[in-house]
Chain A
Amino acid sequence: MGQIRRYLRIVSLLIKTGLMQQMAYRPHFVSMFAGKVIRIALLLLFFQAVFLKVDRIGSWSYDQVLLLFATFHVVDFLMSITFHRNLAFYLPQKVHSGDFDARMLLPVNLLFLSSFERIELIDFASFLPTLGFLGYVLSRLEFSFTGGQLLVYLILLANALLFLFAAVLAIASLSFWTTQSSGLARIFDSLLKVGRYPIEIFEGFWRSVFLYILPLVLIAQLPSEALLGILSPRAVLITGAMTGFLLALALLLWRAGLKQYQSASS
């Protein structure tokens, strides 16, 4: 409990420090806030356009597609405000410049620090409308869902975040060997967007890729199916096993990467 309290205190300190740094430049703070609001507004416009122009995607109805979209964006937001930019972009930069040295000297779990060093409180402002949108979609669903379905949905959301954490960590860890891995992170980001569409829109090779090799279905589709009550318990177990496997692999890569770290010349 003591350790959990300590790390919660550190998270709150990191958030506070991030906010203080952003507020050091008032115009930047204001423009960033405006930027986030515009981003949300554009997202909502996009959802509206989908409503107006498309009847069904695959076997998914409007409301079900909206649930998929909202679920994807909740996971995407949670990822982007926490570990994504820290691991995918800041970590390779620090490894490249040698600034990672200073982090290695702090008496804090290095993976924790590398994953959550910069948490920007301003992003939470843009998360609230996304949550609101999810609430709106849930209220539109034609049938009600049970508490059990909701619980599995929440567990699969956590699993999706863990899966993405493992994937981003594995890619970021490569920077210890290549010194640069942001290119790979960008490719992953582009592929990730596939996760907001039903897998039914893909056929053949790509369907197999997104099901078995890079199982992006588990980000939004499987949690959505769980909430809709159409996901088998076996699929839930397989999803957990896949995440566990990827996480173990990512942690191995991370540890090997730390051994490999060469710093930069003084």
Chain B
Amino acid sequence: MIALDAAGLTKTYWYYEKDPGLLGALRGLFRTRKTPVEAVRDLNFEMRLGEVVGLIGPNGAGKTTTLKMLCGILHPSEGRIAVLGFTPSRREKAFLKSIAYVSGQRNRLFWDLPAEDYFRFCKAIYEIPDDLYERNRRRVIEVAEIGDILTVPQRKLSFGQRKRCELAAALLHDPKVILLDEPTNAMDLLSAGRVRQFIREEAREGKRAVIVTSHNMTDIETVCERVTILDKGRILYDGLLRNLNHADHSVKRIRVRFQGTWQIESLRQLGKVTLLQEDEISLEVEPARAPQVASCLLSTSAVRDISITDPSLEEILGSIYGKTS
């Protein structure tokens, strides 16, 4: 079932330019320059229930703006969106009961009260039936591992603990579409790992559509099968994560540690030398040639260790962004 369908989605912001300093501020009172910023441009996107999509891109790429349009916070300047058949900007009750949006940088829980009080607030606002509430409450508490902090006021919790409580609260009403904006932002390794586990668990049964934005590629690699890469408001790539490497810049990396002497000139004939140390080099070659190059290296030199790997997601993205900038 199609969970999300966006066509020609565009969002233009306007802001007033202001010169720096006090003089600039004074001048700004009388003379303003209104400047448009196209945060999202002609975005076409479709997603099915059961998919987990990573929405990635550099700062200002339009990720958060896209999520906010999908959940009805922002009205698109152009284009149309359907989420579970609803138009988000109409903010219909049935639509709002079917989605959850969690921002990694904002706190929506009651600052002076424990998460348990916010859970009860959600129960009343979302009109969650008693049995469903109890079932979901138990499940999200277990998965988010927050059983021991439920009665602690939010202001006394660490950032990671607060975020886990918030994620749990966002899922109490059983949303079909979950939008997570940098869910592991500023978290330590342990908390981030728990959140990733949480997202995986939620997406496991295939009844939900989950979109995750993150600058942490471990989040994306751990939880997403599909990625959509945005830059300057446009989609650069939309497809399976595992196909990303083959999309347009196929390369394999062969890392070799030598035992004895080796000739740099002969290595340069095999591929692009990217890392050069006393006894270790890294070669970038076309994927089809990788076995042949490795075999050649093993037969012509004394090799202590050899490995063939794909470039990291960060490197692939760096190369994609580099081409567009």
Interface residues of chain A, those whose CB is within 8 Å of chain B, are 6, 9-10, 13, 17, 20-21, 24-25, 98-99, 101-102, 104-108, 110, 258-259, 261-263, 265-266
Task: Contact check, B68 vs A263: say whether CB atoms are below 8 A apart.
Answer: yes
Nearest 3 pairs of A and B residues by beta carbon:
A107-B96, A102-B108, A24-B112
Task: Contact check, B64 vs A10: say whether CB atoms are below 8 A apart.
Answer: no
**How many B residues touch the partner, as a band?**
20 to 34
Task: Contact check, B73 vs A101: say whether CB atoms are below 8 A apart.
Answer: yes
18 A-B residue contacts at CB 8 Å?
A: A6-B127, A10-B125, A17-B117, A17-B121, A21-B112, A99-B106, A101-B68, A104-B73, A105-B73, A105-B99, A106-B125, A110-B91, A261-B74, A262-B74, A263-B74, A265-B64, A266-B103, A266-B104
With both beta carbons as reference points, the residue of chain B lying nearest to A98 in the complex is identified as: B106
With both beta carbons as reference points, the residue of chain B lying nearest to A22 in the complex is identified as: B112
What CA separation (Å) do A73 and B247 show in the bound complex? 70
Across chains A and B, the number of contacting residue pairs, with CB separation under 8 Å, is 69
With both beta carbons as reference points, the residue of chain B lying nearest to A20 in the complex is identified as: B113
What CA separation (Å) do A262 and B14 show in the bound complex? 9
With both beta carbons as reference points, the residue of chain A lying nearest to B92 in the complex is identified as: A107
With both beta carbons as reference points, the residue of chain A lying nearest to B13 in the complex is identified as: A262
With both beta carbons as reference points, the residue of chain A lying nearest to B122 in the complex is identified as: A106
Interface residues of chain B, those whose CB is within 8 Å of chain A, are 13, 64, 68, 71-75, 89, 91, 93, 96-97, 99-101, 103-106, 108, 110, 112-113, 117, 121, 124-127, 153, 181-182
What CA separation (Å) do A1 and B240 show in the bound complex? 50
Chain A residues closer than 8 Å to B101, beta-carbon distance: 101, 105
Task: Contact check, A263 vs B126: say whether CB atoms are below 8 A apart.
Answer: no
Contacts A101-B68, A106-B96, A263-B74; A17 near B125 (Cβ below 8 A): no
What CA separation (Å) do A17 and B108 show in the bound complex? 14
Chain B residues closer than 8 Å to A10, beta-carbon distance: 124-125
What CA separation (Å) do A6 and B71 show in the bound complex? 24
